[in-house]
């Protein structure tokens, strides 16, 4: 009985095995392809350092412009590192570095804005390690760093011209041209109709965010490239989720704000301020700029205002030359810092540098043994701005006359009154009813000021008062 059962079981097993083999062999063969990993083309570089978390909001920024060539005797990155404590002591929270890239040599006038390679460092300044020392040092001192970016044009010996001629604007004969109508013959105009060029440009901007851990860009001649390029670039940069970036347009287009820029340049403010001091134009003209320069500015976006920068310092004159000496230039700076703007200080301005820092910035140097009392005033002006919500983002009410710039800034219970005589003569000013017969604290000098209905202001006198 047992043997019979075993034999039957063996027969069933053999039959099952044969059936299974017949079933398997009757199905078509299945080929399994090996898994191919996705190909990443030109990946972004690894992030250097830890992204800086304290980049200020636009309205809270105070910007310091560094021109490496004339900032120190050596004219290099190390010269900036050595003065980071002095920059910090001013109270600024954003350092703006002029172009750090190699300068072209073909048709060149040695301009820092003639870029030979967007992803390299000008060896006259030092190395990547030296550059990172500026940024690391600034971050450790609670200051952000933004780079100058020249998107509109390149040097004639930039490799892009040889490798990708279609990336450049050309005439009817197929010859690459300089920016039309500008007289900038040392540079070649890029073609923003070419999408590959746009992508390469944006990738180069991203490179520095990762490689140097920077906090944004000041974009040179931003009114040149089309608005849709800037929107494309800024949208891409904002997608770097680890970084909060500050974007400054060196331009006047109101559409720069809608393209994503946080800040626009106050060209008109500088020009009008100069006319007030040199041509006797009415101070009331500034009030109009507080509207027109802010067209399109929403959600805290601001205009950067200045009394000098690398362009006008050499071409027009120093602040002391343009704005009535030390006292007049301080009065002018107070308006730029407090009225409706983000202030920008150009290196040497704070010590009353009396020598024009002329292009291409290699022969003239900042004299840091300059006017220390003036530097103390600058520190007080910026310190009060940093402490005052009303100054940074409060409601502006103007009470100016033809000769005196007067305004209040209010935020909640905080009230600030600024009075600046922009004439080199004594001016009698009728105090408006809302602020007449009141007592204020003198922010810059200490003590109290009692305002009646009439005040006499000495030449270039300035008062910063708070309740």
CA pair distance 363, 352, nearest whole angstrom: 19
* HEC assignment per residue over the chain: CHHHHHHHHHHHHHHHHHHHHHHHHHCCCCCCCCCCCCCCCCCCCCCCCCCCCCCCCHHHCCEEEECHHHHCCCCCHHHHHCCHHHHHHHCCCEEEECCCCCECCCCCCCCCCCECCCCCCCCCCCCHHHHHHHHHHHHHCCCEEEEEECCCEEECCCHHHHHCHHHECECCCCCECCCCCCCCCCEEEECCCCHHHHHHHHHHHHHHHHHCCCCEEEECCCCCCCHHHHHHHHHHHHCCCCCCCEEEECCCCCHHHHHCCCEEECHHHHHHHHHHHHHCCCCCHHHHHHHHCCCCCCCCCEEEECCCCHHHHHHCCCHHHHCCHHHHHHHHHHHHHHCCCEEEEECCHHHCCCCCCCCCCCCCCCCCCCCHHHHHHHHHHHHHHHHCHHHHHCEEEECCCCCEEEEEEEECCEEEEEEEECCCCCEEEECCCCCCCEEEEECCCCCEEEECCEEEECCCCEEEEEC
Q: Is the pLDDT of residue 302 over 50?
A: yes
Same fold, 58-392 and 404-466: no
Q: Is the pLDDT of residue 450 over 80?
A: yes
Q: Is the pLDDT of residue 5 over 60?
A: no
CA pair distance 403, 136, nearest whole angstrom: 45
Domain chopping of the chain, boundaries: 58-392, 404-466
Q: Is the pLDDT of residue 172 over 80?
A: yes
| CB-based contact 86:142 (threshold 8 Å) | no
Please report the pLDDT score of residue 40 as a whole number.
44
Please report the pLDDT score of residue 143 as a whole number.
98
83-119 pLDDT, tens digit per residue, is 999 999 999 999 999 999 999 999 999 999 999 999 9
Please report the pLDDT score of residue 127 as a whole number.
98
173-217 pLDDT, tens digit per residue, is 999 999 999 999 999 999 999 999 999 999 999 999 999 999 999
pLDDT band at 21 (very low <50, low <70, confident <90, very high): very low
pTM given for the model: 0.90
Q: In the chain, what percentage of residues exceed pLDDT 70?
A: 91
Q: How far apart are the first and last CA of the chain?
A: 115
Q: Whole-number mean pLDDT of the chain?
A: 92
Please report the pLDDT score of residue 250 as a whole number.
98
CA pair distance 235, 32, nearest whole angstrom: 41
pLDDT band at 34 (very low <50, low <70, confident <90, very high): very low
Q: Is the pLDDT of residue 38 over 70?
A: no
| Half-sphere exposure in the Cβ direction for 305 (13 Å, CA) | 26
pLDDT band at 9 (very low <50, low <70, confident <90, very high): very low
The lowest-confidence range among 30-34, 41-45, 263-267 is 30-34
CA pair distance 282, 415, nearest whole angstrom: 26
CA pair distance 87, 80, nearest whole angstrom: 9
Strand partners for 249: 219, 264
306-357 pLDDT, tens digit per residue, is 999 999 999 999 999 999 999 999 999 999 999 999 999 999 999 999 999 9
Query: Dihedral (C-alpha) 195, 201, 203, 204: value to the nearest 10 degrees?
Result: 160
| CB-based contact 287:273 (threshold 8 Å) | no
CA pair distance 77, 64, nearest whole angstrom: 15
Mean pLDDT across 141-165: 98
Please report the pLDDT score of residue 371 as a whole number.
80
The CATH architecture one would assign to domain 58-392 is: Alpha-Beta Barrel (3.20)
Please report the pLDDT score of residue 278 as a whole number.
95
CA pair distance 104, 115, nearest whole angstrom: 6
Q: In the chain, what percentage of residues exceed pLDDT 90?
A: 90
Domain 404-466 classification at class level:
mainly beta
Mean pLDDT across 379-395: 98
| Half-sphere exposure in the Cβ direction for 440 (13 Å, CA) | 22
| CB-based contact 286:339 (threshold 8 Å) | yes
Mean pLDDT across 288-307: 95
209-251 pLDDT, tens digit per residue, is 999 999 999 999 999 999 999 999 999 999 999 999 999 999 9
């Amino acid at each position: 009985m047992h043997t019979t059962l075993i034999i039957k079981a063996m027969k069933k097993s053999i039959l099952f095995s044969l059936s299974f083999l017949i079933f398997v062999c009757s199905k078509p063969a299945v080929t399994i392809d090996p898994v191919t990993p996705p190909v990443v083309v030109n990946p972004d570089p690894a992030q250097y350092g830890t992204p800086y978390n304290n980049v200020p909001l636009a309205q809270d920024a105070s910007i310091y412009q560094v021109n490496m060539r004339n900032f120190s005797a050596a004219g290099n990155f190390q010269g900036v590192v050595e003065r980071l404590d002095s920059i910090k002591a001013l109270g600024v929270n954003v350092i703006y570095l002029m172009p750090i890239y190699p300068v072209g040599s073909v048709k060149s006038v040695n301009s820092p804005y003639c870029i030979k390679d967007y992803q390299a460092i000008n060896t006259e300044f030092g190395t990547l390690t030296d550059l990172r020392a500026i940024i690391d040092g600034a971050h450790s001192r609670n200051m952000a760093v933004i780079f100058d970016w020249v998107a509109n044009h390149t040097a004639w010996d930039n490799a892009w011209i040889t490798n990708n001629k279609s990336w450049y604007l050309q005439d009817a004969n197929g010859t690459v041209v300089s920016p039309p109508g500008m007289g900038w013959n040392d540079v070649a105009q890029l073609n923003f109709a070419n999408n590959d060029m746009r992508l390469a440009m944006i990738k180069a901007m991203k490179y520095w965010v990762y490689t140097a851990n920077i906090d944004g860009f000041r974009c040179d001649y931003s009114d040149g490239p089309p608005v849709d390029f800037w929107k494309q670039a800024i949208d891409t940069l904002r997608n770097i989720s680890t970084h909060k970036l500050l974007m400054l347009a060196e331009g006047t287009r109101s559409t720069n704000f809608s393209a994503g820029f946080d800040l626009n340049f106050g060209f008109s403010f500088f020009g009008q301020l100069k006319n007030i001091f040199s041509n006797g134009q009415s101070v009331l003209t500034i009030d109009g700029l507080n509207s027109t320069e802010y067209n399109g500015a929403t959600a805290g976006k601001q205009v950067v205002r200045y009394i000098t920068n690398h362009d006008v310092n050499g071409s027009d004159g120093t602040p002391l030359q343009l704005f009535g000496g030390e006292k007049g230039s301080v009065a002018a700076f107070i308006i730029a810092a407090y009225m409706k703007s983000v202030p920008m200080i150009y290196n040497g301005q704070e010590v009353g540098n009396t020598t024009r820092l002329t292009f291409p910035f290699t022969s003239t140097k900042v004299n840091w043994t300059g006017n220390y009392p003036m530097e103390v005033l600058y520190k007080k002006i910026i310190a009060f701005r940093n402490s005052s919500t009303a100054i940074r983002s409060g409601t502006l009410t103007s009470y100016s006359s033809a000769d005196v710039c007067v305004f209040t800034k209010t935020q909640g219970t905080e009230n600030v009154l600024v009075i600046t005589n922009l004439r080199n003569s004594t001016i009698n000013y009728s105090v408006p009813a809302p602020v007449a017969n009141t007592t204020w604290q003198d922010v810059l000098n200490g003590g109290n000021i009692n305002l009646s209905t009439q005040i006499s202001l000495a030449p270039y006198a300035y008062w910063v008062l708070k309740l």
